[in-house]
Structure formats: C-alpha cells, structure tokens
Amino acid sequence: MTEPDTLPDEGADPDSPEGRGGAASVIPAASPGSGRSGLDRRRVLGAAIEFIDSEGLNALTMRRLGAHLGVEAMALYRYVPGREQLLDGVVESVIDELYGDPDVHLGASHGWQDYLQRLAHGVRRIALAHPEVFPLVATRPPAAPWVRPPLRSLRWVESFLDALIDSGFSEESAVSAYRAYSSFLLGHLLLEVSQKGVKISPEDQPEGVPEAVAATDLSAYPTVVRLESLLSLDESAAEFEEALENLLGRLEVVLREGRTPRRGDPRT
Amino acid sequence: MTEPDTLPDEGADPDSPEGRGGAASVIPAASPGSGRSGLDRRRVLGAAIEFIDSEGLNALTMRRLGAHLGVEAMALYRYVPGREQLLDGVVESVIDELYGDPDVHLGASHGWQDYLQRLAHGVRRIALAHPEVFPLVATRPPAAPWVRPPLRSLRWVESFLDALIDSGFSEESAVSAYRAYSSFLLGHLLLEVSQKGVKISPEDQPEGVPEAVAATDLSAYPTVVRLESLLSLDESAAEFEEALENLLGRLEVVLREGRTPRRGDPRT
DNA sequence: CTCCTGTCGTTTACGTCGTAAATGGCCGGG
DNA sequence: CCCGGCCATTTACGACGTAAACGACAGGAG
C-alpha cells in the first residue's frame, strides 16, 4: 500500500500546517481582479474562516466580520441568510478543501487502504489547519442522520461507499466501515484540536506574581502527578497512525471473511 | 413503572435513559425541604441541565434560566460568576453523575476489563441521558492538556491510571490506553448524540405541501440512495460494544506483551 | 443627455442578550 | 427596638442579530 511517504524519522508531522506543500490552505477567492471590494459569498465565507482561525469562534460576530471585510454588518446578509447559515457555510467550505488536496482521491484507484489512509490524513490536515473551526464540523447537526461528521457531504459518503464496494466489500460491511471510520476520525481529531487549543487558550494570565499561581491542589492525585511528563507528551501523530492502522486491519479481516462483524461471533 | 415496555428483544439498549433503573438521572437537589425557593449552586446547575435537556443549548440564557427558577436573571450571579462558568459547572455536574452510578466503580476490583467496560457504559448512559449537553462535554477546553474529554476530571484520570497500573500495565501503556480510550468514547458518543439530535431537530417544517419537499437532489448519489435503508439503521449500541471490545482486545495484547505498541513493530 | 431600473452597501431601529451597580426587603442577634 | 448581613430586584449600558427603509451608482433605452 505504498502510503504517502510517512514520517522521515522522528517527530515531523506530515499533517501539520507548516509541514506540507500547502494544500488545505485558505480559499483562493473567486473574483479575477480580486482587489478590495466586490463582495462575494466565497469571500464572505473565506473571511469568516480566516477570522475564526485567528480570533476564535466566540469572537465571530456579524458586525466584526463585516468590519474585517471593510463593510457594515448588514452587507453580509446579501450573501448569507443569517449567522447560523454562515456557520453552516463555513463548515461546508472547510471540508470542501478536501477537493483541492492533491493527496486525497475520490476513487480507490490504488486500493481501498490507500484511499482510506489518504482521506484520513486529508481530514486531519484540515483539522490541524483550522483547529477553531473543527469543533463546528464535529457538532453542527448534519443534514441527514446518516451523513456523519466529519465527512459531512453526500459526495464524500458516496465516494467512500463506492470505494469500498468496488474493492469487494459487501454493502453491509461498507456501511459499517463508514461508521467505524467516522467515529475514529471524529474522536481522534476533536481530541487533538481541543488539546491544541488548551496549549495557548487559558486566556493569557497576566499574573502579577508568577509564583503561587492558582494551580489546583494536585496532592490528592499522586499518579497523575507522577505521570505528568508522560501525560504531557504529544503523541497525536503516532496515536492517529496506530489507530488508523488498527482500523484498516479490522476492515481487512471483515473483507477477507466477507461478513459484518457481529456481537457474539467467535473472535478472529 | 418498570420501563414502558420498549422494544421487546432485539434492540433493548441497556444504556438508554428509559432502559435502566435510574442512575444517571437528574440531580437530587440538596435542600431537605426542597420546596420552591432557597436558591443554591446545586439547584442552579441542576436547573440549567434540565433546561438544556428540554429546550436545547441555544435556548439557555441567564434570563430564561432565571425565569425557569422563578427568579430574576441577576439572582443567578450570586451562585455562578457568569454564563461561561455556568456552562463549565454544567459539564462538571453532568460527569459527576458518574459517582452516583452504582454500576461504575472507582477501582478495578473485578479486573481492569470490567472496570473499563462499566466506565464506558456509565459515560454512554450519561451521554444518552443528556444529548444536548454532551457536545459541551466534548468541546469545552479542558483544564489541562492531559485532561481529556469526556473524562474531564482529575479524579477519574487518577482512577483510570491506577486501575490499569494496578492490573499490571506499565505506566506508558496505561497512559497510552487512557488516550485511546478517550478517543474511542468521544468519537462514538458524540456521533451517537449528534445523530440522535437530528432525528427530531430539523425545526419542525410546517410545509403546506408535503409533496415536493426540498429534498436535495439525490440522483447524483446512487449508492447513497441504494443503501439508504442500511445507512438509516441505528446500530449504535452494537457498534459501541464492538469497538469497545476491540479496544479491550488491543489492550490485552499490550498488557501481555508488556510494551507500548509502536509503529513498525511486527504485528501480532 | 436624461431617465429608469436593478444591484449593493448603509442607516436606522428594535428586541434580546450578559452583566455592573445601586436598591430594597427581610431576618435574627444586640 | 433597631440594625447589619444576606439575597433577590431594579435599573442601566453596550453589544448582539436582524428587519426595513434608504441612498448611491451603474448601464441600457429613449
């Protein structure tokens, strides 16, 4: 399964925003002249993403977004029906970045494992590029109960199912794989970005006295204290990779044995 | 009423709110008389949870919560510093319901697998009892980077690590298990509640003409259409169980082989 | 050139929000 | 009896989302 080249030696995360060519970056903006004014739905959505990335989700208001675009708040309503739909548009735009990622393919031309691996890393790249937006991707109610985050578009669901079915999966197995894959991506990536957020977010504490900070009393939790350095290690990339490979392994068994795994079946 | 009969055999979900004795239910409220007035931090938090469960997260405002308690909004500020901290308190209260769950233990007295299984189901019960609150549990920035949702309290982290270490896991394996377990819980439960939300949420559309509804054009997605019935099946309980068992299986291997699994190691 | 019509951003306005500050009722100990 | 502390209310302010009316300006038709 070749796989997209992987980690050189230690550390370097291939999905981190700086660590790659530049897919999963900002929206190019539609207008040809692309000068200052000339609003546009794409531009509004792009500015919203940019704004959330840099100021945080809570800071996004119609008025401020307007100001960011050099325009009054009400001008935005010509391109977006309201704030909620603006956020929906943001979510849609962000996952649409997948289409622009040259490493992610819509079909399983190099095998389903390659397909799933590339797709997973593509989504991870997006999550890491927009850590403040990803929780929105994760929690906004999907259009239909069977469109699951983070692959929130019919087109990707279709692509996913086709890829697996074309590769020999039964329809049941493909659907069940879709569910397992969604859970896996959502859990790992949401945890990873929420953790990333905490590294900076605790609203810069301009403590006059850096000593005696309000560090909660840890004496009741000796194990946590003892393992603090282990717990603080950021192994996101390795964990992601390992969980992904485990999932692929499970699916391989399902494919080989041609069945949907069921409770009560004898193991392996 | 020993449960309103529900699905007879196949489906009965042991974690669904009706399907159990009654752990993971509302807060008992502290005051003995427990009549009308006599505000209280516990009561405020309890009312907030109740309110979110019944009206949705977006509907919660200080003023409305006040009204719900028969009180003006400003009265709440005597018990809670502000809206954000109110939400933090809600999250904390909700996971504290774990302590009241007789099926969840703090130690691994019946083996680590029993411990993890009970804990997982306890959290799932909470998620299903408060589907509108759970996204908050999942996305609120945690206190420290190594306190991961959904087990957002030092006490549970301590309990988790101790349980595994006491059962023979190395410190590294215990930490790595903690991470994998968190991802698993978060992904599955968030997906499950978000899906549950969609079943009802699409703001009741009082369409005059039930025909020709704005159903998006599905003709471009034949596989999705063909598999719609499969996709719509709600197999949450089984998926959860299967993924949990798979995780336990992985951990068993880690424990037996006394190592932290690493990329590149020969597979089983 | 003038006028008409459509597009698009601005102005104004309203109701609601979170919350700081001042106010007022009540209650138990001197 | 009064009086200080507790605790809910009242009042007030700035920011928010958005409905509605209002210009400003462009380009085609006469």
CATH number of the domain within which A193 lies: 1.10.357.10
State how far the Cα of A182 lies from the Cα of A177, in Å rounded to an integer.
Answer: 8
Contact residues on chain B for A138, CB-CB shorter than 8 A: 135, 138-139, 190, 194
Q: Is the pLDDT of residue B124 over 90?
A: yes
Q: Are residues B239 and B137 in the same domain?
A: yes
Q: Interior CA angle at A217 toward A213 and A223, to 5°? A: 125
Average pLDDT, chain B: 85
Amino acid at residue number B8: P
The answer to the question of residue A33 being in a domain is no
Nucleotide with minimal C1' distance from the CA of B71 is: D8
Render pLDDT for B71-121 as a digit per residue (tens, 0 to 9).
999 999 999 999 999 999 999 999 999 999 999 999 999 999 999 999 999
Q: Do the Cβ atoms of A76 and A44 come closer than 8 Å? A: yes
Asked whether residue B93 falls in the same domain as residue B45, the answer is yes
- Token pair 């004898």 is found at A266
Count other Cβ atoms within 10 Å, centred on residue A227: 22
For the segment A146-179, what is each residue's pLDDT rounded down to a tens digit?
Answer: 899 999 999 999 999 999 999 999 999 999 999 9
Does the beta-carbon distance from B138 to A138 stay under 8 Å? yes
Residue A192 belongs to a domain: yes
Kindly state whether residues B246 and B172 are assigned to the same domain: yes
User: Which chain B residue shows the shortest CA-CA distance from A238?
Assistant: B263
Chain A residue at shortest CA distance from B245: A263
- Same domain for B128 and B148: yes
> Do residues B120 and B241 both lie within one domain?
yes
Amino acid at B156: W
Judgement on whether residues B120 and B161 belong to the same structural domain of the protein: yes
pLDDT at A144 over 60: yes
Q: Is the CB of B82 under 7 A from strand C?
A: yes
The three-state secondary structure class of B155 is helix
Mutate to test the interface with B, among A173, A179, A193 (most CBs of B within 10 A): A179
Among candidates A161, A158, A182, which has minimal Cα distance to A170? Answer: A161
Query: Could you tell me how many residues make up chain A?
Result: 268
If asked whether residues B139 and B165 sit together in one domain, one would say yes
Question: What three-state secondary structure class fits B72?
Answer: coil
Nearest CA in chain B to A135: B139
B154:A224 CB<8 A: yes
Quickly tell me which residue has 């008389």 as its tokens: B33
Set of chain A residues whose Cβ sits within 8 Å of the Cβ of B139 = 135, 138-139, 190, 194
Name residues whose C-beta falls within 8 Å of residue A55's C-beta, 6 or more positions apart in sequence: A64
Residue A99 CB lies within 7 Å of the nucleic strand D: no
Q: Are residues B40 and B144 in the same domain?
A: no
Residue B16 located in a structural domain = no
A206 — contact with chain B (CB < 8 Å)?
Answer: no
* Greatest Cα pair distance in chain B: 65
Q: How confident is the model at residue B21 (pLDDT cuts 50, 70, 90)?
A: very low
Pick the closest to residue B26 from B46, B48, B45, B40 (CA basis).
B46
Structure tokens belonging to residue A37: 């004014």
Specify if A98 maps to a domain. Answer: no
Residue A129 counted as domain residue: yes
Domain count, chain A: 1
A72 CA vs C13 C1’ separation (Å): 16
- Verify that B76 and B50 share a domain, yes or no: yes
Q: Could you tell me the distance in Å between the CA of residue B63 and the C1' of nucleotide D8?
A: 14
- Nearest nucleotide to B62 (CA to C1') is C18
Identify the domain boundary among B98, B125, B142: B98
Indicate whether B189 belongs to any domain. yes
From B67, B98, B129, the end of a domain falls on: B98
One domain for residues B52 and B112: no
CATH of the domain at B42: 1.10.10.60
Domain boundary among B98, B113, B145: B98
The whole-number Å distance from A67's CA to C7's C1' is 21
Q: Is residue A7 part of a domain?
A: no
Could you tell me the distance in Å between the CA of residue A37 and the C1' of nucleotide C2? Answer: 29
**pLDDT tens readout for residues A97-139:** 999 999 999 999 999 999 999 999 999 999 999 999 999 999 9
Q: Please indicate, yes or no, whether residues B37 and B164 belong to a single structural domain of this protein.
A: no
N-to-C CA span, chain A: 23
Query: Is-contact B191 B176, C-beta < 8 A?
Result: no
Q: Does one domain contain both B46 and B152? A: no
Give the domain extent around B169.
103-198+234-257
b/e sequence B192-220, b meaning 16+ C-beta within 10 Å = bbbbbbbeeeeeeeeeeeeeeeeeeeeee
Which residues from chain A sit within 8 angstroms of residue B143, using beta carbons?
Answer: 216
Residues of A with CB below 8 A from B185's CB? 187
- A76: in domain: no
The lowest-confidence range among A30-39, A80-89, A130-139, B208-217 is: A30-39
Tokens of A26: 């900002």
